[in-house]
Amino acid sequence: MRFIDSHTEGEPTRVIIDGGPDLGSGTLTERRNRFRETADQFRQCAINEPRGWDAVVGALLCEPTDTSCAAGVIFFNNTGYLNMCGHGAIGVAVTLHYLGRIGLGVQRLETPVGIVEVNLLSPNEVSIENVPSYRHRSKVSVDVEHLGTVTGDIAWGGNWFFLVEQSPAPLTLDNLRSLSDAAHLVRNALKRDGITGADGQEIDHIEFFGPAQSPEAHSRNFVYCPGGAYDRSPCGTGTSAKLACLAADGKLAAGENWIQESIIGSRFTGSYRSASDETIIPTITGTAYVCSEGTLIQQAGDPFPNGIGGSPA
Ligand code: PYC
């Protein structure tokens, strides 16, 4: 498999540009299901150590079903498959431009949960117009082991998030361990109590907020991803979920900017337009940089052809 790696505000994206699985035809959701059921070893090989690492999000380029799209994309990580990925869409756009496959300006990408518009403002700066986002429930309380009662909002931004306004620990890099442990416990408690997104969908991302360190930003976050890694960027789908909550609370008007700082201090600028009384269309702007390219190799006799924890040869 040939790949190009980039990082979006510090968060890595590995775009598979050649040699990925042939998933046949059908909707992106059907092809993502086929990927999971018949070709998961490709995901394992691309993400598991020693060829990959926990934080990386993979992006498999596919033929789009909608011919107005420049590409179809299936995102995956160290534990499975994502619906959408905001930092990943920015990384894909910068990578496609680096390869000379798209120019500056507006392009469309098809994902399993809908079409995302990407606007390349320069070779490295991209705005994405994400899928419709909304707050599902507000002020949901859950009893969490070691933490007590934790209250948060449940929102969709292309993935399901539980957004907690009062972080259980200060949002600094030296607290990564305790933030991750706390987020893990919150996610387990939601699962234990059957608290889900719409239609029983699992809430697999936990987001803690606190004051920004930079005077230009409105808030700082820590985002815990499904496989236990933390998002180095402010998380595109997580910032979309945040915008949906701010809009629902009347705290941010359509067209106003919200600068979301990540746990490493990198930033996304978000804004939204209203799609209906309940949903917003978020726009997230950030930068990505290509940082390596290569070929994943599985030599005969390698005891870990699909990485540590992956399927045997
Ligand atoms: O940027 O949407 C995002 C994202 C999801 C998981 C990691 N990054």
Catalytic residue among 85, 225, 245, 291: 85
Task: Give the pTM.
Answer: 0.97
- pLDDT class of 188 with cuts at 50, 70, 90: very high
**What's the pLDDT score for residue 276?**
84
Q: Of ligand 1's atoms, which has the minimum distance to the CA of residue 88?
A: 1
Percent of the chain's residues with pLDDT above 90: 99
Percent of the chain's residues with pLDDT above 70: 100
- Burial (CB count <10 Å: 0-12, 13-18, 19+), residue 209: buried
- pLDDT class of 37 with cuts at 50, 70, 90: very high
**What's the pLDDT score for residue 277?**
78
Beta-bridge partners for 54: none
Q: What is the pLDDT of residues 271-305, one digit of tens each?
A: 999 998 799 999 999 999 999 999 999 999 999 99
Q: Please say if the pLDDT value at position 136 is more than 90.
A: yes
Q: Is the CB of 85 under 6 A from ligand 1?
A: yes
Q: Of ligand 1's atoms, which has the minimum distance to the CA of residue 87?
A: 1
Active site (annotated) includes residue 235: yes
The amino acid at 102? I
What's the whole-number mean pLDDT along residues 159-167? 97
Instruction: For the chain, give percent helix, strand, coil, nearest 5.
Output: 20, 35, 40
Which residues neighbour 12 within 8 Å (Cβ) at sequence distance 6 or greater? Answer: 5, 6, 53, 55, 56, 57, 91, 232
Q: Please say if the pLDDT value at position 125 is more than 90.
A: yes
Three-state DSSP class for residue 73: strand
Task: Give the H or E element holding residue 222.
Answer: strand 219-224
Nearest CA to ligand 1 atom 5: 85
Q: Please say if the pLDDT value at position 130 is more than 90.
A: yes
- pLDDT class of 72 with cuts at 50, 70, 90: very high
Three-state DSSP class for residue 85: coil
Angle 86-98/236-248 helices, nearest 10 degrees? Answer: 130
**What's the pLDDT score for residue 88?**
98
Q: What is the pLDDT of residues 50-61, one digit of tens each?
A: 999 999 999 999
The tally of CA atoms less than 13 A away on the side-chain side of residue 266 is 19
Pull the structure tokens for residue 21: 């699985």
Q: Is the CB of 44 under 6 A from ligand 1?
A: no
All structural domains of the chain, each given as residue ranges with its CATH number in brackets, are 2-131+291-295 (3.10.310.10), 134-278 (3.10.310.10)
How far is the C-alpha of 178 from the C-alpha of 156, rounded, in Å? 25
Average pLDDT, the chain: 97
Active site (annotated) includes residue 85: yes
- pLDDT class of 179 with cuts at 50, 70, 90: very high
**What's the pLDDT score for residue 313?**
79
How far is the C-alpha of 67 from the C-alpha of 142, rounded, in Å? 45
What's the whole-number mean pLDDT along residues 132-137? 98
Q: Is the CB of 164 under 6 A from ligand 1?
A: no
How far is the C-alpha of 58 from the C-alpha of 43, rounded, in Å? 8
Catalytic residue among 69, 225, 235, 245: 235
Q: Is the CB of 225 under 6 A from ligand 1?
A: yes
Cα four-point dihedral sign 134, 136, 138, 141: negative
Q: Is the CB of 235 under 6 A from ligand 1?
A: yes
